[in-house]
Amino acid sequence: MFNLANKITLLRMLMAPVVVMLLYFEGPVFCVLATCAFIFASITDWMDGYIARRANIVTSMGKFLDPLADKILICSVLIMFVKLNWAPAWTVIVIVCRDLVVTGLRAMASEAGTCLAADKFGKAKTVLQIVAIVPLMLHYPIAGIAFAPLGEILLYMALVMTVFSGTNYCWNFYKEAYRQ
C-alpha cells in the first residue's frame, strides 16, 4: 500500500503547504524558491507513475492519491495566486469547481463499479496548468524579463483545456451511467 510510488505521491501532497508558505513571504527570492519547490513537486507527478508502472506496483490507493495530489498542489497554488492578486478569482473558481465535479464523478463511478480513468485531455489539462503556474509564480522580473504575462496567457489556455476536459469527463460518465 505504501510502496515507493505512493510515498512519492504523498511527498507531492506535502509539498503544497511548503510552496504556499514560500509564496506567503512575498518577494523575488521567495518566488524563485517557491517555483523550485513547485517544479520539484510537479516532477514527482511523472516519477510516481513511471515507478509504479515500471516496477508493476500500480495500486488502487495510488490511482486515488495521484490525481488528488495534483489537485491539492495546483489548487492550493492557484488559490494563493488569488490572495496575492496574481490570478483572477473567476478563473481559479472555474478550475477548482471542475476538479470537484470530476472528483465527484469518479466517486460515483467507483460506487457503480466502474473506473473513470484519467484521459489524455485530463493529463493535458494538468500539464498546461503546471506550465502556466511556473511563469505566474516568477511574478517579479528576473534579469529584466517579466514572466507573469506569459503565465497569464498560459493560464487562460489551461482554463480552456480545463473546461473541455471537465466536459469530456461529464460526457464519459453520462455514457457509462446510461449505456444500455
What pLDDT is recorded for position 137? Answer: 97
What pLDDT is recorded for position 180? Answer: 45
CATH superfamily of 4-177: CDP-alcohol phosphotransferase transmembrane (TM) domain (1.20.120.1760)
Hey, how many other C-beta atoms are within 10 angstroms of the C-beta on 138? 20
Q: Which three cell numbers stand for residue 113?
A: 463499479
Candidates 100, 142, 117, 101; CA nearest to 49 is 117
CA dihedral defined by 65, 58, 54, 118, rounded to 10 degrees? Answer: -60
CA 39 – CA 52 distance, rounded (Å)? 20
What pLDDT is recorded for position 177? Answer: 79
Candidates 45, 173, 175, 13; CA nearest to 106 is 173
What pLDDT is recorded for position 11? Answer: 96
Domain chopping of the chain, boundaries: 4-177
Q: Which residues of the chain have pLDDT under 70?
A: 180
Which three-class secondary structure state does DSSP give residue 142?
strand
Q: pLDDT per residue over 124-168, tens digit each?
A: 999 999 999 999 999 999 999 999 999 999 999 999 999 999 999
Q: Is 87 left (phi over 0), alpha (psi -120 to 50) or beta?
A: beta
